[in-house]
A and B are shown apart, each in its own frame.
Chain A
Amino acid sequence: MKEKDRFKLDVISPERVLISQEVASVVLLSGLGSSMGVLPRHAPLIAKTNTGTLKIRDINKKETVIFVSSGFIMVSLEGVSIVVRSAEKKEMIDVDRARAAQERAKKRLISRDMYIDLQRAREALVRAEYRLKLARGAAG
């Protein structure tokens, strides 16, 4: 593969640099039917991203799917950075925790308690569901 057919991808969360490698393309799939793909030589861009999954195709055309929460993407001449609160590979997802978070968020959304931050509960639910979806995909 030629030099211009690849770019550097960094996926960074406060806990770790999850991915830092040369890739051929990356696609972010997130809710509301929105998705976004980046190929080599993309124009410089900064965008807000939603919770979803990231499909990465490396230079050997091997695909990996990872979970990313909401954050930001920056495309520059130096490469692509995806800066998010949390990012996990399939095998890193804590299924029990995600399931518990899903239950908790659901309960909060249906409760009538006015002190509950609905926006946060909604986001938590979306995160849990994406995590579970990706983890289940791993099981087959």
Chain B
Amino acid sequence: MPQSTREILRRIKGIKSTQQITRAMEMVAAVKLNRVRTLAENSRPYVNRLGTLMRIIRSSEMAVAVDHPVFSTKEGSRLLLIVITSDRGLCGTFNINMINSVLQFLEEQKGKQVSIIAVGKKGYDTLVRRGYAIEQFFPVPWGSTLASDLRTINTLLTEGFNAQKIDGVHLYYTQFINVLRHVPTHVKLLPLSPLSEEEKKHLIKGEIDFIMEPSFQELALSLIPQYIETQIYHCLIESVTSEQAARMVSMRNATDNADEMIKNLTLTFNKARQASITRELIDIIGGVEAMKG
């Protein structure tokens, strides 16, 4: 049947061109992954050191004494939730896992008033489709928009918090563990409740009796915005790293699957061709035999 062999050939060709695309996407993702990983590694000491500073501030007795909403121990019922996903698909279960964790969180917080800031188009689309109101949407900030978007998000939440319009800020991002493992992770950005005695034990060695200049309050109030911004930046980078890793892996799987399909189809094609040749031979031999007889 020449019809069916032609059909199979057409399919093989189609799969081959798809495979070319998936292979190219895999390589692009690998390059981007490398770039963002160096970025993450270079900024890690900075992120860690600011974290240490913040922990010292939070462990100070002054944090309890100043009675500022930032250092509140309890959380009210108006929450702000930041959800980081990706702008593009074709990255396996990356966005689905994130959305599932967020939906679970929203389920747990039922009864509270949760406003959402969506970073990444995929998460925004899904949450809107599910009927959630989105306070504000940002595409994943990168390159030139990174600094200004971070500042906008940061002002948005610190101002909301300082004006006491919100009582708590939570963030969901995908933590990068290794190329194959990325975990949706929850962090609480605000309030920065003072550390418990237990948590204080894991602080840096030596005394924790620091002289604070110019004053505890002034120091804390200038450290907090920078700390929050750095935290969001860190989560964003982790999320982008996970996204590229997820895309690379799923594209590699797609390329491998295409290989497998091409192999099977080639086999079917060869069988079909062989069958049609055999059939033609039988026809010819049959004809010859008939003429003899």
Contact = CB atoms under 8 A, between A and B. Distances in A.
Interface of A: 10, 12-17, 43-48, 71-72, 74, 76-78, 81, 83, 85
Given A46-B56, A83-B49, A14 B214 contact: no
Q: Is the interface of A mostly helix, strand, loop or mixed?
A: strand
A97 B266 CA distance: 59
A46 B53 contact: yes
Contact of B209 (A13, A17, A44): A44
Q: Is the interface of B mostly helix, strand, loop or mixed?
A: helix
A45 B210 contact: yes
Interface string B207-220: 11111111000110
Given A12-B46, A14-B46, A83-B53, A47 B206 contact: no
A48 B43 contact: no
B144 to A, nearest CB: 14
6 contacts: A10-B45, A43-B211, A44-B207, A46-B210, A77-B204, A78-B206
A44 B45 contact: no
B49 A45 contact: no
A12 B219 CA distance: 18
B218 A83 contact: no
B205 A46 contact: no
B42 A46 contact: no
Contacts of A13: 46
Contacts of A43: 211
Interface residues of B, number: 29
A15 B53 CA distance: 19
B212 A77 contact: no
Contacts, number: 72
A81 B52 CA distance: 11
B205 A48 contact: no
A72 B47 CA distance: 13
Nearest to B60: A46
B60 to A, nearest CB: 9
B174 interface: no
Given A13-B46, A14-B46, A74 B214 contact: no
B211 A44 contact: yes
Contacts of A47: 211-214, 219
B50 interface: yes
Nearest to A74: B53
A96 B205 CA distance: 44
Most A CB within 10 A of own CB, among B46, B47, B208, B218: B46
Most B CB within 10 A of own CB, among A13, A14, A15: A14
Interface in B24-54: 42-43, 45-47, 49-50, 52-53
B206 A77 contact: yes
B3 interface: no
B222 interface: yes
A44 B214 CA distance: 14
- In the A-B complex, the 9 residue pairs with the smallest Cβ-Cβ separation, listed nearest first, are A77-B206, A47-B213, A45-B211, A14-B43, A14-B46, A44-B210, A46-B210, A83-B49, A12-B46
Contacts of B45: 10, 12, 17
Contacts of B209: 44
Nearest to B218: A48
Contact of A14 (B42, B56, B210, B213): B42
Nearest to B151: A120
Contacts of A74: 49, 52-53, 56, 210
Most B CB within 10 A of own CB, among A13, A43, A83: A83
Contacts of A77: 204-207
Contact of A81 (B49, B57, B219): B49
